[in-house]
Every structure is written in C-alpha cells, then in structure tokens.
Amino acid sequence: MRVLAALSGGVDSAVAAARAVDAGHDVVGVHLALSRNRDQFRTGSRGCCSIEDAGDARRAADVLGIPYYVWDLSERFEDTVVADFLAEYAAGRTPNPCVRCNEHIKFEALMDKAVALGFDAVCTGHYARVALRPDPADPADPTGRTLVRELHRAADLAKDQSYVLAVMGSERLARSMFPLGDVASKAEVRAEAERRGLSVSAKPDSYDICFVADGDTQGFLRERLGAQPGDVVDTEGRIVGAHDGAYAYTVGQRKGLSIGRPAPDGRPRYVLEVQPVTNRVVVGPAEALAVGAVVGTDAVWLAPDVVGAQDLGADDDARWFSCAVQVRAHGDPVPARARRTAGGVRIEVDGDLRGVAPGQSAVLYDGSRVLGQATVEGTERA
C-alpha cells in the first residue's frame, strides 16, 4: 500500500513510520505546520509544530530512507481548532482541542488530501488498536468474509488515545494505521527508536494544549477574548466573589475561584455552571457535581451492530445498550447504559461521574472497543 506517515517530530510517529516501512508499504513522510508563527524551539515538553520539530521529523525520514514533505495547514488549524476552542469557552463550554484537531486536521484535511494524492492509508503514532471482525450486520455472508474495522484501546492503557480518536468515524478509520497499538509501554517505543538510530528516542513527550506553549490557558483566553468582569454566585444567587471572564472557568474547578467569603459550612466550593449570557459563574458543594445522565449531540458511531440495533421510532427498553462512558482523555470509564436519539445519544450513568461540562467529549466503550462518541450538550444531576 501507499502510506502517508504523519511525522510530528516526536518518537511515536517516527517509530510508527518505521514499522510501516518494515511492513513493506511504500511510505512517504509529511510534517504538518499548524502554527502561523512557529517558534524556533519547543518549550520543553510543551507545544508542538516548532521549526525544531520539523527538523526532527526530517531527520527521522532521512534515517528511514523515505521522502519527506512539510504541509502548511496553519490557516485550517486556526480557522477550525483554535476558533472552535475560543468560541466554545466564550459560550461557557469546555472543549477538547485534541479531539477537534483529530476531527478537522489529522483525519479530515490530512486524510482527504492523502486520498486525493493516491495514498491508501494514513499512518500516525497514536496509541490505539484497529481490529477486524466479521460484519454482524451481514447475515447473508455465512463465510464471515465481510469484515468491519473496529477501534479499540491500546495495549498500554496508560498511553491509550482511543478517546481522542473516536470522533474520526468508520470511513476514516478504514484508512488509518496505528502501528503502536500493540506495544506494551512507551519505554519499548523509545528503546526501538534508539536501536533504529532515531535521534528522537529520548525527546520529551509533548503535553497540554499545543497552541498554548506556555501552559497558561487562562492567559491565552484573556488575550484573545479580553477582560469581561462579572460575578461569582452561589446556588441561591448570592454574590460571593468576582471574576475577569467567565470563560476562564470550567465545571468542576476548585482552585482560583476568587471567592471572598467562605461557604456557611466551611466546605470547599466548586464551579457548578458557567452562564455566558449573565456572565456569572455558579459555585457550590462537591455533591452538586454528581451526574446521573448525559445528553450528547453530533454523535459519531463506530459500531454498526450497536447502531443497527436501535429503533429510533420506539421508546422502550430495547433501545438501550450497556456500555461504559468516558468523559476525559485520561479519565476512568464509568458503567452506563445508552440509547441513540436524533443525531445524538442519551447516557444514563450507573456509577460515580462528577464535574461533566458541556463541550466535553463523551466516548462509549464495550470493554476495549469504541462504540461511539458525542459532544456533551448537557447533564442531569444524580
């Protein structure tokens, strides 16, 4: 196959590309320039897409003996990922920019361009597994030769990235390769990179939001959205503090609330709600964060057997299916049951789930298998 390998300049993507070469594919490397004003160097483990990263990606391609290109997608990144990030916070929601980057950049813009250029698949260094199994929706094929591709958690659960990949959908999953899905640990990847002579073997992992290189998300929002002073209130509407912008707060937040008076019972208070229309931040006790149900919109389904079993015209127990729901990239899955709605999903939680904010991504699992994903529109208290 002709494979386009996305080379970020880090160790994961370099080893993933190397494994694609070893598998006998015709591999071409590409580095995505996503920042309009790229720094010369990364700030330690923060940020990405610097000129240093592009150089590291080029050197990895040289070691692997594959062609290498740089594609400038900075305008697309700014107009989709960064713009969505700002708009969501301004609307009192909490977005996940990595989900949006995978949706709009890595598995939309990049993959669409790759297909247009004649590539069969895109290879990345994400930690996730793709499994093939007979299509349960095709009973007319008794041989089981009709196969569907499933997205599963990585073997190394500590590095699993299936949560941020769930938004890609089945069509793009069919053209995706994740060669690191079966590795036991990141240490194994670094050791392999060193054996291959890749200079990025000891390069620090990047983390946090790539376009906020200094890690100061509130400062970034304040710079882009400006100061918008307002009140911090309790659940009775009493003013207990002030803020410079409701966009800087998220549901479940405890620190940095600028509350002038303690709660009557002396217990800590948390952000329960961000109200962009009134520019208020509502705070209250921890137990008020408990979530009993999640309502999601813009659902993306990866499990045809689950989707096909749902009758949207009925409202009975047959519509529900058991699953686990995860609402943060490194959060724990919580037992639940769910059913499709028109364009979305309703999830009823059977466990401890707290502090879920509109705008977050809710991913449904059956064991290690990803069933689907939706954007949280709202929640109901437990």
- In a shared domain, residues 269 and 141: no
Q: Annotated catalytic, 98?
A: no
What's the total number of domains in the chain?
A: 3
Q: Is the pLDDT of residue 139 over 70?
A: no
- In a shared domain, residues 318 and 275: no
Q: Annotated catalytic, 123?
A: no
- In a shared domain, residues 252 and 358: no
In the chain, what are the helix, strand and coil shares in percent, each to the nearest 5? 30, 30, 40
- In a shared domain, residues 283 and 172: no
Q: How confident is the model at residue 143 (pLDDT cuts 50, 70, 90)?
A: low
> How far is the C-alpha of 26 from the C-alpha of 2, rounded, in Å?
5
Model confidence over 83-100: pLDDT tens digits?
999 999 999 999 999 999
pLDDT at 104: 92
> How far is the C-alpha of 180 from the C-alpha of 352, rounded, in Å?
32
End-to-end CA distance of the chain: 50
Q: Which domain holds residue 97?
A: 2-195
The CATH number linked to 82 is 3.40.50.620
What pairs with residue 295 in β-bridges? 346, 378
Q: Is the pLDDT of residue 124 over 60?
A: yes
> How far is the C-alpha of 250 from the C-alpha of 256, rounded, in Å?
11
Pick the catalytic residue: 48, 49, 98, 101? 101
Q: Among residues of the chain, what percentage have pLDDT more than 70?
A: 90
In a domain, 219, yes or no: no
The CATH number linked to 337 is 2.40.30.10
Pick the catalytic residue: 48, 49, 123, 210? 210
Q: How confident is the model at residue 146 (pLDDT cuts 50, 70, 90)?
A: confident
Q: Are 320 and 304 in contact (CB under 8 A)?
A: no
Q: Give the torsion through C-alpha atoms of 367, 358, 76, 74, to 10 deg.
A: -90
Q: Is the pLDDT of residue 44 over 70?
A: no
Rounded to an integer, the average pLDDT of 164-171 is 94
- In a shared domain, residues 163 and 280: no
* Predicted model pTM: 0.91
pLDDT at 209: 83
Q: Is the pLDDT of residue 315 over 60?
A: no
Model confidence over 316-330: pLDDT tens digits?
566 899 999 999 998
For the chain, the residue count is: 382
- In a shared domain, residues 188 and 254: no
Model confidence over 179-190: pLDDT tens digits?
999 999 999 999
Report DSSP letters for 239-266, one per residue.
EEEEES-GGG--TT--SS--BSS--TT-
The per-residue b/e assignment along 191-201, b for 16 or more CB within 10 angstroms, e otherwise, is ebbeebebbbb
pLDDT at 318: 62
Model confidence over 170-181: pLDDT tens digits?
999 999 999 999
In a domain, 315, yes or no: yes
